[in-house]
Amino acid sequence: MTAFMDEDFLLDSHVAKRLYHEVAADLPIIDYHSHLQQGEIASRKQFRNIAELWLGGDHYKWRLMRSAGVSEDFITGNRTDEEKFRAFCKVLPLAIGNPIYHWSHLELRRIFGIDLLINEKNAAQIWERANARLAGMDTWAFLEQAGVEVACTTDDPADDLAQHAAIKQMDLKTRVLPAYRPDKAMRINQQDFVEYLQRLGAVADVQIASFADMMQALAQRVTFFDEQGARISDHAVDVALPVTPLPPEQIEQLFQKRLGGTLLEAAEVAQYVLAVLTGLGRVYAAHDWTMCLHIGAQRNNNRRMLARLGADTGYDSISDMSCSAGLAGLLDTLDSEARLPKTMLFCLNPGMNEILSTLIGNFQDGSVAGKVQYGPAWWFNDHKEGNLQQLITLANHGVLGTSVGMVTDSRSFASYPRHDYFRRLLCRQLGQWVAGGEFPDDFEALSTVVRGICYENAKRYFAL
């Protein structure tokens, strides 16, 4: 019987073990999409205890605890940090098969050097030992210990990026770069949309009175972000994009309708989103940026808890919306103008794996290896089977060796062992193909694939 999470965890063949230990394990990390707070990096924040590190804002763990019957006062309520931590430890053993079980133990071992099972019995000892270790750590320590070469944060176009500028002047080994996330400009029906336009216009020095004005302001902020080192944009695409876009004058009418205080209908919102993506895609192409599209989330399903806790608190799920035709139309429009930027398609719905993995092949043009990428397993797919299925699906329909690999997509500085988890699964899958006679036992060729997916492809693709 294999020991729990030993050094060969998830590695089930000689080839997998050799690839992981000799090639993958010590490669630097390029985390091109995260939700780390740049202010916490600039200030070299120290966490008061492991509960703040693990449970503060981590909606993955919050969902798990709720599902296990833990009351909200032990999750986001007023219980003490230690009580919340003990509550998590008590229920984690129930989560067999959940990636959080693996991630948490990997974090405990890699970050704290603690080789204990996380359960109610060991909670007190873990609390004491982890907190003692945290007393000598700050956010820089997490990044440097994990070997993070580049970490991209998620930033609004109206942000001044002052903290990023400050970080540049510091001697942190990790390069921390902004990434452009214009969701507030895309969510036209949000209550504070008009107020947001005023803020955006002020920083861009543009009086926003039309759709064209807004796009000008967004474009100017792309230039500003580019000067600060940004190379990536990110968009949440939570609506099905229409197949036939409206002409510019009708988009302007929709924009004026919203400025006048009237919310748009669902179909009108979709048209607006398509217009913003199309316009920004042209801007990204001009700057040689990558446009990342995160597709298929159904957000804020629980109105009662949204009112109580706000967004991003664990009440999102997978959407079954169909978006392939509209998405293909967006890429086709930009391609027909020779202004299709490098693009990554992330999908939350595993039922769309084959749809997106075949869609990317329609717009490869030989200019960049994997110019249009099928993004890594994301959010609800970021588990053992989800990662393996993403690798297999891309291999079936594309060129696996051009993948730019994994991201944390996390708010937690403790989440970098997820890269280790992914690398083990990658080596496992390659080893299984060799064992089945589907690929030769060519260590040099296999090593090239592993180094590319885990590190080199992302560095080259994003020009980092």
Domains with residue ranges and CATH for the chain: 14-46+138-461 (3.20.20.140), 47-137 (1.10.2020.10)
d(CA 2, CA 10): 10
Distances (CA, A) of 127 to 53, 70, 86, 130, 133: 12, 19, 9, 5, 10
Q: What is the pLDDT of residue 316?
A: 96
Q: What is the pTM of this model?
A: 0.96
306 close to 241: Cβ distance less than 8 angstroms: no
Q: What is the pLDDT of residue 57?
A: 87
Token pair for 179? 């990434």
Q: What is the pLDDT of residue 1?
A: 73
Mean pLDDT by 10 residues, the chain (464 residues): 92 98 98 96 98 94 98 98 98 97 97 97 98 97 97 97 97 98 97 97 98 98 98 96 97 98 97 98 98 95 96 94 92 98 95 95 96 95 96 97 95 95 98 98 98 98 95
d(CA 250, CA 266): 15
Token pair for 117? 């099972």
d(CA 296, CA 10): 29
CB within 8 A of 78, min separation 6: which ones?
none
